[in-house]
Structure 1
Amino acid sequence: MLTTARSGRTLAVYLALRFLVSIGGLFLLAAVLIFVFDALELLRRASDQEGASLARIGLISLLRVPQLMEQVLPFAVLFGAITAFLGLSRKLELVVARAAGVSVWQFTAPALAVGLLIGIAAVLVYNPLAVVLRTQSDEIASGLFGREQNFLLQTTGDIWLRQDGVDGESVLHAKQILDNGERLLGVTVFTFDRKGSFVERIEAREAVLADQSWRLSSGTVYSTSGDPRAFTSYSVSTYLTPTEVRESIAAPESIGFWDLPRVIELSQRAGLPAYRYSLQYQTLLARPALLAAMVLIAACVSLRVSRMGGVGRLILGGILAGFVLYVLSELGKDLGGAGIVPPLLAAWAPGVFGVLMGITILLHLEDG
C-alpha cells in the first residue's frame, strides 16, 4: 500500500514536471518571437527620430513584452498541455498508465495543479511586475515616437479631455499618458472664457496634475490678443481630481492587481462608474479558472487521441475550442466593460463554462 502511494506521488510529480517544462518552453518561445517582431516594428517607426538607438529600442521592447505576454498565457497553457499530453501518448506512457489502472483524473490532476499554480502566480506576482516594467518602458520611450506614441505604447488613441475650472472651460489633448493619467506628454490645451469664447491655445511638452490645476512646462501660448510667447511653466485651472482623470483616460491594464481594489474604491467614492476596473480585477481573479479550462480541453484531446487516432483533426478541434473560449472571454470583457453585464459574471463565466465543459467531456469519454 505504501509502495502504491509512493508510486502515485512519483508519477504525479513526473507528469507535473513534464507539463511545466512544456508550458514554460512554449511561453518563452512566444516571448522571444514577440520581442523580435515588436522591436523590429518599433525600430522601423522610430528610425528617423532623434535618440532612437538600437539599445534603447531593444530595452523598450524588452520591458513591454511581459505585459504583452499576459494575452498569450492562456494559449501557452493550452498548446503546452496538448504538447505534453501528445508526447506522453506517442511514447505510450499514457497507455501503460491506463493499463496499470491509472484513471484519466489521476493523470489530468497534475496538469490541472500546474495550470492553477501558473494562474495564481500570474495574478499575484507576474501581473504587478508586468505593469511596473511597462511603466518603465513608457518612461524610457517618452517623446520618442511623436504622434504614434500612444498607438505603440498604450494601444489607445490620442487623449481628449473636456474640463472646467476657475478660469473657465478648456479642452485638453495629449499624445501620451503616464502615472495613471496624472502626467501627460505632448499636450495641447484650448481655453475658453466664461462666455464660451476662445481665448488661447497652449502647447506644452508636459502637464502634471496638481491642486486643481494642470502645471504645464516648456511650451508656447498662442493668444487671440497678442503674439505667441514661450514659457517654462504655465498653469491651467481644472476641477478634475486624479480619480476622475484616471477613470477617464487610464487603461485598466496599466494598474497592477494589488492596486485595483484601491482604484475601484476611489472611483466609487467619487461617484464614478468603475466597471472597467472591477472587470479587470475579476478577470485577473478568474485567470486560474481559465487556465484550468485550457488544461481540461487539452486533456479531452489527448484522451481521444490515445483511443481513436486522428491526431491532426483532434488537435485542431482542441485548438478551436481554446480559441472559442478565449473569444467568449473577450466578449465578456467588452460587455462587462460597458456595464451591460455585471463584471463578476463577465469575468468568471468563460472560465467556469470551460471547466464544466471539459469535465463533462472527460466523464463521457472515461465512463461512457
Structure 2
Amino acid sequence: MRLFPSSTLARYLGQMFTIRVLAFLIGLVMVLQTLDLLSESDKILAVEGNGYGALLHYVSLRMPQLISQFLPFSVLLGTLVTLATLNQTSEVVVMRAAGISAHQVLMPLVAAAGLIGLAHFVFNETVVVQSTAQLQAWERVGYAPRSEEAPPETQEVWVADGATIIHAREAIQRDGRLILPNFELYERREGSHLSRVTTAARAEYAGGTWTLYDVREYSPTGAPPVRRDTQPWHTNVQTDRFLAVAVDPATVSYLRLHRAVAELSEGGHPTESLLASLYHKISGPFSSVLMPLLAAVSAFGVVRSGKLFVRIVIGMALGFGYFVADNFMLAMGQFGTVPPFLAAWAAPLLFLCIGESVLFRTEE
C-alpha cells in the first residue's frame, strides 16, 4: 500500500524521467527560439542603433515565455519516452511481477512531475511575468534602443478619447475611488498636431467627477508651464475602460491579479475573464502532474504483441487532447460563456478521470 515501495526504484525512475523532460525542453525551446528570432530579427535590426545586443536582449525576454509554454509538452514527451523505454526493456514486467502496482510504477514520475509543476509556477511568478511585461513595453515602442519599459507588476493605461490620448502608469480602485497615478493628457488638433500637454501626479475619480492633483500644463509654443494644485477634468471615457486595460494577466503575478480582481469586484465591475486567468495560473502548471497518468497507456502491455507504437500514439493523443480542451475552456471562460472555475479546472479534472479509468480498466 506504500506509494514508493522501493526508494532505489523511485530514484531510478525519477532521474530517468527528469533527464528526458529536460532534454525535450531544451530541444524544443532552442528550435522554437531560433524560428521566432528569425521572424523578428528584421524588425529589431531595422531600428537605428539596434545590433546584436538587441537580438540577445530579445532572446532573454522571449525565452522565458517559450519555456513556460512548452514545459508541459516536454513533460508529456518525456513521460512517453520513459515509459516506452521501460516497457520495451521489460522493466515494467519485472516491476509488476515483483508485486508493484501500476500506480506505484507511475508514482515516482508523478512526484517528479509535481516538483516540475511547482517550479513552473514559481518560474511564471518570478521570471515570466517580468519578461512578458518588458517585452510588451519594448514592442509598443517599436524595439527602440532605449525604451521606457513598464514595471513588471503594473500595466500601463493608454486610452483614446477622440483625438485626445490619455496615459497613466496604472489604474487603482480603492475605497470606491478610481486613481490614475502619473497621469498624462495629450490633446491634439486636426492633423495630429499637439495643442496642449497636461500632466498630474494623479487623476482621481470620486463622486462622479474627475480631479487632477499637482497639475502642470504645457504649451507647444514653448511657454513656461502653468501649475495648479488641483483642476477638474471632464472626459467621455467610462471608468470601466480604464479598469479593463489596467490589468493584463500575462504580465502580473498571482497576488497582484488577485488584488486587482478584489478591487474590481468591490467596484461592481465584471471580473469573470480575470478570474478565469487567475485560476489558470494554478491549473496550468498542474497539467504537468497529469502527463504521467495520460501517457501511462504506453507503459503497460506485452511488447511482443506489436502494439507499443499504437499505445504511444494513444498516450500522445490523450496528452494533446488535454491541451486543446484546456485552451478551449480557458477561452470560453474569458468570454464569459462558462464559470471561471470551470473554465480553468474542467479539463484537468476531466482528463484526470479519463486517465484513471484507462489505467484501472487495463492494469488494476
> Is 1:36 aligned to residue 17 of structure 2?
no
Q: Do the aligned partners of 1:67 and 1:127 also contact (CA within 8 Å) in 2?
A: no
1:359 maps to which of 328, 349, 356: 356
Output the TM-score relative to the length of structure 2: 0.75
2:270 maps to which of 250, 270, 273: 273
> Is 1:211 aligned to residue 200 of structure 2?
no
> Is 1:109 aligned to residue 101 of structure 2?
no
Distance, in Å, in 1 between the alignment partners of 2:345 and 2:14 is: 26
1:39-188 equivalent positions in 2, closer than 5 A: 39-138=37-136, 143-145=141-143, 161-163=159-161, 172=165
Cα distance, 1:103–1:178 mapped onto 2, change above 3 Å: farther
Please state whether the residue corresponding to 2:363 is helix, strand or coil.
Answer: helix
> Is 1:342 aligned to residue 339 of structure 2?
yes
Cα distance, 1:363–1:307 mapped onto 2, change above 3 Å: farther
- Aligned-pair identity (%): 22
Structure 2 alignment gaps of length 5 or more: 148-156, 173-179, 205-211
Distance, in Å, in 1 between the alignment partners of 2:63 and 2:226 is: 37
In the other structure, the counterpart of 2:151 is none
Q: Do the aligned partners of 1:279 and 1:336 also contact (CA within 8 Å) in 2?
A: yes
1:281-300 equivalent positions in 2, closer than 5 A: 281-300=278-297
In the other structure, the counterpart of 1:315 is 312
> Is 1:24 aligned to residue 22 of structure 2?
yes
Q: Do the aligned partners of 2:92 and 2:299 also contact (CA within 8 Å) in 1?
A: no
Q: Do the aligned partners of 2:181 and 2:203 also contact (CA within 8 Å) in 1?
A: no
Cα distance, 1:162–1:6 mapped onto 2, change above 3 Å: closer
Distance, in Å, in 2 between the alignment partners of 1:203 and 1:23 is: 58
Please state whether the residue corresponding to 2:299 is helix, strand or coil.
Answer: helix
CA RMSD of aligned residues (A): 4.2
Q: Do the aligned partners of 1:180 and 1:255 also contact (CA within 8 Å) in 2?
A: no
Distance, in Å, in 2 between the alignment partners of 1:138 and 1:62 is: 13
Deviation of 1:242 (Å) = 9.3
The code of the aligned residue for 2:70 comes to: V
Q: Do the aligned partners of 1:161 and 1:173 also contact (CA within 8 Å) in 2?
A: yes
Distance, in Å, in 2 between the alignment partners of 1:351 and 1:24 is: 23
Structure 1 alignment gaps of length 5 or more: 150-158, 164-168, 193-197, 222-228
In the other structure, the counterpart of 1:154 is none
In the other structure, the counterpart of 1:155 is none
The code of the aligned residue for 1:27 comes to: L
Deviation of 1:106 (Å) = 0.8
Distance, in Å, in 1 between the alignment partners of 2:262 and 2:335 is: 19
Most deviating of 242-251 and 299-308 = 242-251
Distance, in Å, in 2 between the alignment partners of 1:5 and 1:296 is: 15
The code of the aligned residue for 1:22 comes to: R
Deviation of 1:127 (Å) = 3.3
Please state whether the residue corresponding to 1:211 is helix, strand or coil.
Answer: strand
Output the TM-score relative to the length of structure 1: 0.74
Cα distance, 1:220–1:7 mapped onto 2, change above 3 Å: same
Number of aligned residue pairs: 331
The code of the aligned residue for 2:28 comes to: A
Higher helix proportion, which one? 1
The code of the aligned residue for 1:11 comes to: L
The code of the aligned residue for 1:107 comes to: V
Q: Do the aligned partners of 2:64 and 2:128 also contact (CA within 8 Å) in 1?
A: yes
In the other structure, the counterpart of 2:175 is none
The code of the aligned residue for 1:81 comes to: T
Deviation of 1:21 (Å) = 1.5
**1:45-95, CA deviations, whole angstroms, 9 ceiling, x for partnerless residues?**
233211221221221222222123322122111111111112222332222
The code of the aligned residue for 2:82 comes to: A
Q: Do the aligned partners of 1:305 and 1:314 also contact (CA within 8 Å) in 2?
A: no
1:216-231 equivalent positions in 2, closer than 5 A: none
Distance, in Å, in 1 between the alignment partners of 2:89 and 2:196 is: 65
Please state whether the residue corresponding to 1:303 is helix, strand or coil.
Answer: coil
Distance, in Å, in 2 between the alignment partners of 1:238 and 1:23 is: 57
